Chains A and B, each alone.
Chain A
Amino acid sequence: MVYGILRLINFAHGEVFMFGAYMAFFAMTSFGMPWYVAFIIAILLTCIFGMLLEKAAYRPLRDAPRISIMISAIAASFLIANLGIVVFGGIPVTFPRPDIFNIRIVIGGVSIISKALFIPVITAVVLMILLYIVNHTKTGTAMRAVSKDYEVARLMGIDVNRIITFTFAIGSSLAAVGGIMWALRFPALIPFMGIMPGLKCFIAAVIGGIGNIKGAVLGGLLLGFGEIMIVAFLPELSGYRDAFAFIFLIVILLFKPAGLLGKNIAEKV
């Protein structure tokens, strides 16, 4: 779900995620599109939105100090969330669930709702596509080069800006997929819904090692399971559920600053 090739925190990721879910909602309710068309349109729109965001908030600061980039990201995140309040309104709206996600399937006496089946399958498919793009295409190679050292990548004749925009496009599309799945699971949309998942998916990415897709998946799984386990086995601690992610993050950062699957790179002078 997460993607961090730029070595920068995209604070606005959660807002992109929110945007994706809202777009799917409007495509389905206001324009009455069938759900598969609506989802595809939402993903495309979010992808464009992500690219615009990159152009507006990140590109002018490419060579600026990191603090500036981060503040810009935070400002962008607040801007989008509050614009969301202005445009979409602050009242939660109910996400319509297409019927296909609500069918009860009975397999060997265990009945499950189809969305519980769809979500992992979609995740797996998306993951496959992502791994293929990054590891087996030319653009993917360029992406990995940019994430290693973008100045050298530039010397090698890679159009860094184009690659970064492309990365944002992919990241935003994934956020849209995530947003839609989230909306299927918890069908109440509010403009501020992106903040917690946004932070958590960043945490997942850091736990796994930034810029490492397998790491992000591992981090996401650990985080999700950990949270559910805490609530399930230590119910008296369930109030501390959101704190768990942060405590986990800090412990990981202290012992493995580069994340579980990340490589430790010493800073060169």
Chain B
Amino acid sequence: MKRNNLLNIIAIIVFIAILFILNMTLDAYKLRIFNLAGIYVILGLGLNLVNGFTGLFSLGHAGFMAIGAYTGALLTMSPEMKEMTFFLEPITPILANIQVPFPVALIAAGVIAGAFGALIGAPVLRLKDDYLAIATLGFSEIIRIILTNTQNITNGALGIKGIPGYTNIWWVWGIALITVIFMVLLIKSSYGKVFKAIREDEIAAEAMGVNLFKHKMMSFVIGCALAGIGGALLGSLIGAINPLLFRFLFTFNVLLIVVLGGMGSITGTVLSAVVVTVMIEYLRVLDIDMNLGFIRIPGIPGLRMVVFSLILLMVILFYQRGIMGTNEITWEKIFGLKNRISNLITRRKAS
């Protein structure tokens, strides 16, 4: 156990050093993608806690992200910027003059998204399976429609532009790191065990004296709060948000990450978040014309999403719990692998 703690600390230090190097060497575009990957790590972990660990199939992630993004944007923008953005209808006076530092705005985004999660979870978490999925999806649509129609708070369909770009590699990956540590601790705690019990068999868990509603609620609220923080970071990274950004498609992307990584695997989610985000960017070549020197392959717009849906479909058909399943990459496994390889080598040599 002591060895693992030491290794964890070393890993974190190495990770920070890598971040430092990446921050120095990557150009702005690649850095942006890398930051996006970090945000997807946070979002994916939030969704994985709800879908993978607690077994509640929620499709409302985009809605909570939207709440977080709007909270973060409205709290960090300067009063002058707000006046410029809200030219159709002035912003409500309560919000017009608030400007808080970025960390406070992030926390506020998490808290408000979590509060909405609690509000929505109270009625909806009584439902099961597909009904829960549709109800949460419905709520995320309702949130989007409300955002489109409340002109004096969210600037309606025009969205908010000119959000100060505080997001950098340290904010994103720092929070992602904290999220990972938090998740590991949470899953290892007694709460984590209860979540898994609910996932495996709700009725058996209830018979063991688990307060189903309380734990479901807890998992859901934490997931929503993480979505809110991710949303606020995203808003600050892109600089402009509008309600259309938070369509069901966004939930689909996060779901893709969770499923590919494995429902119920933290390390799987982190890995697949990075891989998927990078792939989403690099597969853009599919949508544009390709010039191979002697032959021109016309790009087909939309092919990129076809590829992703196909990957998701294949993974779910062949690995029902995602590629990593509920497995984690742990130090024990890495060392076990090393031992196995060295055993293999010695055996080869002997023969």
Contact = CB atoms under 8 A, between A and B. Distances in A.
B336 interface: no
A257 B306 contact: no
A206 B127 contact: no
Contacts of B263: 67
Contact of A70 (B133, B138, B310): B133
Contacts of B129: 66-67, 70
A75 B313 contact: yes
B139 A246 contact: yes
Interface stretch (B109-117, B277-285, B295-303): B295-303
B266 to A, nearest CB: 18
Interface stretch (B141-149, B177-185, B215-223): B141-149
A230 interface: no
A91 to B, nearest CB: 11
Contacts of B139: 246, 250
Given A246-B138, A267-B203, A76 B149 contact: no
Nearest to B59: A74
Nearest to A203: B134
Interface in B268-325: 300-303, 305-306, 308-310, 312-313, 316-317, 320-321
B288 to A, nearest CB: 14
Contacts of A60: 317
A202 interface: yes
Contact of A90 (B255, B302, B320): B302
A153 interface: no
Nearest to B248: A195
A51 interface: no
Contacts of A76: 309, 313
A78 B305 contact: yes
B133 A9 contact: yes
B160 to A, nearest CB: 18
Contacts of B320: 61, 64-65, 68
Give the most central of B55, B302, B303: most A CB within 10 Å. Answer: B302
B138 A85 contact: no
A223 interface: no
B134 A202 contact: yes
A229 interface: no
Interface of A is mostly: helix
Contacts, number: 115
A57 B309 CA distance: 12
A253 B127 contact: yes
A93 interface: no
A156 interface: no
A151 interface: no
B130 A8 contact: yes
A71 interface: yes
A65 B129 CA distance: 10
Nearest to A85: B302
B303 to A, nearest CB: 6
B255 A74 contact: yes
Given A70-B130, A239-B148, A253 B135 contact: yes
Interface in A55-86: 57, 60-61, 64-68, 70-72, 74-76, 78-79, 82-83, 85-86
A79 B310 contact: yes
B57 interface: yes
A82 B317 contact: no
Nearest to A57: B313
A9 B132 CA distance: 11
A147 to B, nearest CB: 15
B149 A240 contact: yes
B301 A247 contact: no
Interface string A78-120: 1100110110001000000000000000000000000000000
24 contacts: A8-B130, A9-B133, A65-B320, A66-B57, A66-B130, A67-B55, A68-B316, A70-B133, A71-B316, A75-B309, A75-B312, A78-B305, A78-B308, A79-B313, A82-B305, A82-B306, A85-B305, A90-B302, A195-B248, A206-B131, A243-B141, A245-B138, A246-B135, A249-B134
Given A9-B130, A68-B316, A71-B312, 9 more contacts: A70-B129, A71-B255, A72-B313, A75-B309, A85-B305, A240-B146, A253-B127, A253-B135, A257-B131
- What are the 6 A-B residue pairs with the smallest beta carbon separation, nearest first? A246-B138, A85-B302, A79-B309, A82-B305, A75-B312, A78-B309
Interface of B: 51, 55, 57, 123-124, 126-127, 129-131, 133-135, 137-139, 141-142, 145-146, 148-149, 203, 248, 252, 255, 259, 263, 300-303, 305-306, 308-310, 312-313, 316-317, 320-321
